[in-house]
Structure 1
């Protein structure tokens, strides 16, 4: 399994790869992970423990991408020799790449040369990555097209291509020549989260994720500033990123600093404690291919308020387990927060129970079963990542043509 990001990086792609690798190890598979080194240094191989499971992790010499707050990348001109060396040493039955940019590209090309079964999963949206490049203004659209063309070249080598939701699969198919992309949920250990169905003693809105511009956390702060002070709403933001200083300044300008807590990177125990404590989860991002953080909130029995964009409507069923607002409509966002904080307990309980019901379809064991079948080359149905994904989509075979 290879990608351009892996633990200890904190993002959806890294978390999915970590969870999938650990789940496969737990089922008795031998798993090797190839990823950039977490710090400067030569190529290294070591047994690392992730999600409680030991696995072999091959860390490649990497450089820091300085426009980004933490991203490191493997050296592009060395990736194919490194991939060839590792594949010849490991002799894997399957290669599963999580990103087409550097590591995945090298592994894919070398796997094809050796006749190794190849599966690719896309977590990438060019629009997100371009904020850390000089491609702005008139250069932006050509850069997006070039990024999708590069993705198509690498994913086109795979015998099966997956992505977390039907919406994300449609997105890839629209911008590339690829067809038959599988929507497979990232999956979640649902039983690792603790819902609290008792009446609330405080009003807490929680955001969990990278604190970067594409998440539009400023909309949450602006909406919170519009709420009735009598509600005494507290805002908890867990995560870190380049936007944190700007958001702290914005909270001060809005006069709500005393009600906003920036927790930064937090241990898993704190994260789960806050998920249980919160009254509602907010996800204002407009570029989610699935949103593991939203699934974690649903597994914690939280109603969700999120932007009506990309894949979020697959998880947020408007009026059933939460509410959607049109991106940028901050007054509506504030109105929906007020609605949740003031609704009777029985209505809130209905939203919470529906979150638990919807997220049940995302149990990690279903995800593992599906990937094992893809690895074996078996005919599998196209799994759905929510009830809304299921409407009007037929099953697919793993030998769907990529022409």
Structure 2
């Protein structure tokens, strides 16, 4: 696909506004999203200038190679508050978004960019500038709100504490020409939560890098992991991956497995990858439920370990109470694993009952127990489900495909003009 500007023979120039990017700032889902989007847009010929917070002194850039990187201080509260705690984040992120948005706006005014693309709350700062400066409205503005956890948290205290964030999110994204929903099944959440005009919502899925994921697998590491976790005689092996926090629903899975312990084969094993504040409570729950000897909490694994482990398991189980796009589900799928997962967030776009796995009502122990029973009763279908999982990822959720869809959106906005129904200054 040609990445030149439709009206001028030069590359499309994009200002990508984000707080963090892998590997400079961590390993989370949004960090990896920004990294892979930048990587594959660059491969398509787009000149991406990445705006992110200043990295730690010891940060590694890896093969991150945007056209340019602009950095800005993020943490304005240390050592008084944790920079990403509930209070610290509400101070730091709006200031950061304001400053980085206005910095990008100055360059847009000088004609340096053809498109501005924001990630998460970074929409806010640029939206303020765009609502004040008419010239900025002639340059397309694309915004991606991601999972919007501030709108979905079941924790009443967090929901109240995040009220300012919800306003900033809604304001920032209402100023955008197009807002990206990362899953077809959640696209209506954007008009619902953010009050964005539905005509401005486009679906471009989040993705994984298939080539990169499969390249992480090491045969010698698979052997080492089998020995390390005692998997040689285990059957079947269930795997869950995620932060050990209440919203991930691992307590629900423990309750379901406890109900099934007399029906499961005698050598079954459940491996849990991840760390978090709920780990001790989950370990105690597994002990009290009588399944501790079958359960293994292994903490965090690096990428090579995790992708090698995916090759050793039989069934991926993701009992989350709420979720964004669920990249770990895609990771399991590209390794040809069947999936039992909650019907929440973007998961129903990836897991299709009877085709590559089964869906569960989130937080429902009875339903999770029933669906695990159904999966175990149809174990002969797991290889076919796994093959279908791989096919789904390769056809829809691989980054080269998704980056090309993003570039096509840029080209449409530049070729046909941005939406004429621009927000007013009173919004």
Question: TM-score band (shorter)?
Answer: 0.7 to 0.9
TM-score w.r.t. length of structure 2: 0.75
Using the TM superposition, give the Cα deviation of residue 213 of structure 1 relative to its aligned residue in structure 2, in angstroms. Answer: 1.9
Aligned length: 370
SS in 1 for 2:207: coil
Cα deviation, 1:31-76, whole Å, max 9, x if unaligned, reads 333334466xxxx9x99635x3324252423143464699797353
Matches within 5 A, 1:181-260: 181-194=201-214, 202-227=235-260, 228=262, 230-260=265-295
Cα deviation, 1:134-190, whole Å, max 9, x if unaligned, reads 456xx58xx66x654432211111111102112221111123331221111112222
Using the TM superposition, give the Cα deviation of residue 121 of structure 1 relative to its aligned residue in structure 2, in angstroms. Answer: 0.5
Aligned Cα root-mean-square deviation (Å): 3.5
Match among 179, 189, 202 for residue 161 of structure 1: 179
Other-structure match for 1:171:
189
The answer to whether residue 144 in structure 2 is matched with residue 121 in structure 1 is yes
Other-structure match for 1:61:
74
* Contact 1:36–1:72 (CA under 8 A) maintained in structure 2: no
SS in 1 for 2:355: coil
Give the distance between the partners of 2:330 and 2:169, measured in 1 at CA.
27
Using the TM superposition, give the Cα deviation of residue 400 of structure 1 relative to its aligned residue in structure 2, in angstroms. Answer: 7.7
The answer to whether residue 314 in structure 2 is matched with residue 279 in structure 1 is yes
Match among 116, 133, 144 for residue 95 of structure 1: 116
Q: Which has the larger radius of gyration?
A: 2
Cα deviation, 1:277-301, whole Å, max 9, x if unaligned, reads 1111111123223211111111111
Structure 2 vs 1, CA of residues 335 and 107 (structure 1 numbering), >3 Å: closer, same or farther? same
Other-structure match for 1:352:
386
Give the distance between the partners of 1:13 and 1:234, measured in 2 at CA.
31
The answer to whether residue 122 in structure 2 is matched with residue 110 in structure 1 is no
Structure 2 vs 1, CA of residues 78 and 53 (structure 1 numbering), >3 Å: closer, same or farther? closer
Other-structure match for 1:392:
none
The answer to whether residue 28 in structure 2 is matched with residue 11 in structure 1 is yes
* Contact 1:203–1:341 (CA under 8 A) maintained in structure 2: no
Cα deviation, 1:78-121, whole Å, max 9, x if unaligned, reads 64344333554683332211112xx3311333356352431100
Match among 98, 103, 109 for residue 85 of structure 1: 103
Cα deviation, 1:282-322, whole Å, max 9, x if unaligned, reads 11123223211111111111111112233322211112111
Cα deviation, 1:238-289, whole Å, max 9, x if unaligned, reads 2222222322222222233333222333211011012111111111123223
* Contact 1:161–1:182 (CA under 8 A) maintained in structure 2: yes
TM-score w.r.t. length of structure 1: 0.79
